[in-house]
Amino acid sequence: MKHIAYIGTYSKGENGGIFQVEIDDETAELKVLGTTDVENPSHLCLSHNGKFLYASSETGMFNGQRGGSGAACKVNADGSLTYLNSVATQGTAPCYVATSPDDKFVYAANYGQGTATAFAVAEDGSLKEDPTIVVHEGHGPNEKRQQSPHVHITRITPDGKYLAVCDLGIDAIVLYPLCGKCGVNYKAGSFVRTEPGDGPRHIEFSKDGKYAYVVTEMGNTVRAYEYNDGKLTFIAAYNTLPADFDGYSIAGAIHFAPDGKTLCVTNRGHESMALFDVDGGKLTLKQIVKIGGVVPREFAYTSNGKFVFVCNQESANITVLKADEQGFLTLTDVKYNLPKPVCLIWKN
């Protein structure tokens, strides 16, 4: 069966920006249907009602001023996109976007500035000006990577009550209560610290909402936590790289396979994906498989669980892995060239 998907890239203009594609989940065939001109749309999300798509435009300058922007698009009946507007995030290099459970707010993570932005959404799906800004302070022990805060993700908790923010620069996961008036109560954040120098990057939650899993970029670990009403209780940390690997690598994205029983993490440098069998807070390494590209960022399983599409930033392609009945992955020879792809999401 063929499905519509959207791919974020580090590109813009003609044949760049957000790619609308059609993917056959039985053959792994990918066909480009069109593009929407948003500069460096490094992360994408859809509204819960499926009517709008939002992108983080990861730039250092927007409209002549320092910073990036959030972009809004309308999703048409055929899956094509109509650009609506872009609004400054008031922070540099925004790299993640998420929507509130009621679709009234869009949240962006500003990696370069160490802030998070909460945009109010207009009735037509466009982003409103004058967003709420969450500001972090501090630094970590890694002088090259942690000289200041670096917010990397803005993710809604599964109970729909909190905004989970991972800050790579200060080794912290922060949970802020959502606010119906301004999007987020930035004065009531609950801080959870990782090991110094770990650099927490992304967070994923179990399907039952009882556990959270944080991938640390420099630590190359998955940290498992119990989750309960805005509180994280640490359980254990698990390495994402082979024990005998001594080269340079940093972890990337973290997602579950469709069955919710296998947790997957990309390794940038080792150019691989680590798969873990999940039993609550206990993870067991299942497989580390090469992905056939350079600097794997986000990845996405097809809905039937047969294939994984990996966005490889530096080799400028998407590689495809095939899953067997036990969930083990094998790299196929299927490959699609796109300008620095970094994110792939499926149309609702």
Give 40-70 pLDDT, tens digit per residue.
999 999 999 999 999 999 998 999 989 999 9
CATH architecture of the domain with residue range 2-249: 7 Propeller (2.130)
For the cut 90, the answer to whether the pLDDT of residue 14 exceeds it is no
Tell me the average pLDDT of the chain.
97
Range in 11-15, 50-54, 170-174 with the lowest mean pLDDT: 11-15
Looking at residues 191-205, what average pLDDT do you find?
Answer: 98
Share of the chain above pLDDT 70, in %: 100
Give 228-261 pLDDT, tens digit per residue.
999 999 999 999 999 999 999 999 999 999 999 9
Evaluate whether 8 touches 318 at the Cβ level (below 8 Å).
no
- Quote the pLDDT of residue 57: 98
Looking at residues 91-120, what average pLDDT do you find?
Answer: 97
CA dihedral 218, 219, 224, 230 (to 10 degrees): -50
- Quote the pLDDT of residue 215: 98
Q: How many helices (H) and strands (E) does the chain have?
A: 0, 31
Tokens of 155: 């993710």
CA distances, 231 to each of 117, 183, 193 (Å): 22, 19, 12
Q: Which residues, listed in sequence order, are joined to residue 156 by a DSSP beta bridge?
A: 163
Q: Where are the domains of the chain?
A: 2-249
Give 260-296 pLDDT, tens digit per residue.
999 999 999 999 999 999 999 999 999 999 999 999 9
- How far apart are the C-alpha atoms of 329 and 337, rounded to whole Å? 21
Q: Where are the beta strands (DSSP E) in 242-340?
A: 250-256, 262-268, 272-279, 282-290, 296-301, 307-312, 317-323, 329-337
